[in-house]
């Protein structure tokens, strides 16, 4: 019934910094959040294929937003990526700390960093190798 996660939503008082992070790191394109009434406080970030995958929303005036902190029960958000070398270059150009992890699956490599809100961001390369064995048609 479910094909994939549709998008993530980040509720932050740091709209500009958050949008800029995802634009610079992953090449996403910012545009208005068409379904929401206040375009100055709500943005969607689109992939090069036109899919909105990150929604960034500022809370209304006076609403308390929890401070960035170590991850809670939702540990991280992961993105399937291409162009490993290009991503490493972007991480370095942005001066971001990141870790590289090789997995038990040959060819599946992860780069892990944090966004301006303390959200752990996993950039996955070779995810086609991690498709469940019972779904070979998905390869």
Q: Is residue 68 part of a domain?
A: no
Q: Which of 61, 83, 99 is the last residue of a domain?
A: 61
Give φ, ψ of 136 to 5 degrees.
Answer: -65, -25
Q: Say if residue 1 is in the same domain as residue 48.
A: yes
138 and 96 co-located in one domain: yes
Could you tell me if 32 and 43 are in contact, meaning their C-beta atoms sit under 8 angstroms apart? yes
Is residue 84 located within the same domain as residue 131?
Answer: yes
Task: Report how far residue 112's alpha carbon sits from residue 106's, in angstroms, rounded to the nearest whole number.
Answer: 18
Q: What is the DSSP-derived secondary structure letter of residue 86?
A: H
Residue 6 domain-assigned (yes or no): yes
Q: Looking at the DSSP assignment, which residues form a beta bridge with residue 34?
A: none
In order along its 139 residues, the chain shows pLDDT tens digits of 777 788 999 999 999 999 999 999 999 999 988 888 888 899 999 999 999 999 999 988 888 888 877 667 778 999 999 999 999 999 999 999 999 999 888 889 999 999 999 999 999 999 877 765 545 554 4
**Based on the domain organization, do 41 and 90 belong to the same domain?**
no
Q: Do 79 and 50 lie in a common domain?
A: no
- Rounded distance, CA 22 to CA 90, Å? 11
User: Containing domain of residue 11, as a range?
Assistant: 1-61
pTM of the model: 0.86
Nearest CA-CA partner of 44 in 74, 90, 80, 8: 8
Owner of token pair 């490493």: 88
Residue 70 lies in a domain: no
């Amino acid at each position: 019934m479910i094909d994939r996660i549709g998008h993530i939503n980040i509720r932050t008082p740091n709209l500009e910094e958050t949008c800029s992070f995802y634009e610079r790191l992953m090449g996403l394109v910012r545009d208005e959040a068409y379904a929401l009434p206040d375009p100055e406080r709500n943005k969607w970030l689109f992939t090069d294929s036109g899919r909105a995958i990150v929604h960034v929303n500022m809370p209304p005036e006076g609403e308390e937003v929890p401070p960035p902190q170590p991850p809670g029960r939702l540990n991280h958000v992961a993105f399937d990526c291409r162009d490993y070398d290009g991503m490493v270059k972007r991480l370095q150009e942005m001066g971001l700390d990141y870790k590289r992890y090789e997995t038990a699956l040959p060819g599946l490599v992860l780069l892990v960093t944090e966004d301006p809100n303390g959200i752990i961001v996993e950039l996955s390369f070779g995810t086609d190798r991690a498709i469940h064995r019972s779904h070979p048609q998905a390869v």
